Amino acid sequence: MKTELYNDNFQNFKRYGIPKAQLVIADIPYNIGNNFYGSNPMWYKGGDNKNGESNLAGKAAFNTDFNFNIAEYFHFCNRLLKKEPKKSNGRGKSSDAPCMIVFCSFEQMPMVIKYAEKYGFKHNIPLIFCKNYSPQVLKANMRICGATEYALVLYREKLPKFRNNGKMIFNWFEWKRDSTKNYPKIHPAQKPVTLLKRLIEIFTDEGDVVIDPCAGSGTTLRACMELNRNSYGFEISKEFYRRAKDEMLSYVDDQIGFESFPGVMPK
């Protein structure tokens, strides 16, 4: 399986000759800007307001939260995704059709649906992710704290490929933090590898291509590595790119192969 991460904008995908994807996972900026850490203890030194504000106070998590262009984003993501199959594969209305998964805030959903329709994604399935924690701890005594994340499955005409051994798939999923022993914490908006693996397993098969246009910490690519999917990602930040390559994607499968026994390698 191929795993490629490029320190480049996804708009330049043609220069790399990568294949079109069965699944494009897109995590768009939430447009929080300078208030990214507004309800998070990280706003203060050591997480305690008695210590004063940290260097994250009043700071955005990444520059794209200011200049994100959703129309341009959908235009290129649409081109990264492969075309729908013309014929059914015998699975009724469901087929081997591709899809996009776009993580977004609840308030962004109408806007995402609007632009998705403009670029040919006429259908959507909302997804809800339930956490057993909330980063909004500083608001605990003032308001109800957010403990959910949201995404949209977007597709053109045919229902997207899904594989779940004939079992029902709900529109909500548990969102559990990854163990830092297994997966390093690199990006402030990092998605759990275990959650991404669940979504990738549903909408792809082994050997399929998955593309993450804004790869961040590389969790999507790591999930694909563990599931034997080909994956390609783009990340414009040199720091996130470096850490993703050195820490997240340094994963080595512990399965034993022929290369472990050079004397018995087939010729």
Query: Over the stretch 175-206, which tens digit does the pLDDT of each residue have?
Result: 999 988 889 999 888 999 999 999 999 999 99
Q: What is the mean pLDDT of the chain?
A: 82
Cα angle for residues 33, 39, 42 (degrees, 5° grid): 90
- What is the helix (H) or strand (E) element at residue 244, kind and residue range? none
Q: What is the pTM of this model?
A: 0.80
Check residue 261 and give its pLDDT. Answer: 39
pLDDT for res 138: 63
pLDDT of residue 265: 42
CA 125, CA 153: separation in Å to the nearest integer?
A: 5
DSSP, collapsed to helix, strand or coil, labels residue 3 as strand
What's the confidence (pLDDT) of residue 92? 53
Beta strands in the chain (DSSP E): 3-6, 23-27, 94-97, 99-104, 123-131, 148-155, 159-160, 172-175, 209-212, 230-234
- The Cα 87–Cα 11 span in angstroms is 30
Residue 98 Cα distances to 31, 34, 213, angstroms:
28, 36, 16
Structure confidence by residue, pLDDT tens digits, 30-64: 554 445 555 555 556 666 667 777 765 555 555 55
Q: In a 10 Å sphere around its CB, with 0-12 CB exposed, 13-18 middle and 19+ buried, how is residue 254 labelled?
A: exposed
Q: Report the largest interatomic distance among the alpha carbons of the chain, rounded to a whole angstrom.
A: 69
What pLDDT, on a 0 to 100 scale, did the predictor assign at position 67?
58
Q: Are 111 and 150 in contact (CB under 8 A)?
A: no
Q: Which residue ranges of the chain lie beneath pLDDT 50?
A: 32-34, 65-66, 254-267
> In the beta sheet, which residues pair with residue 173?
129
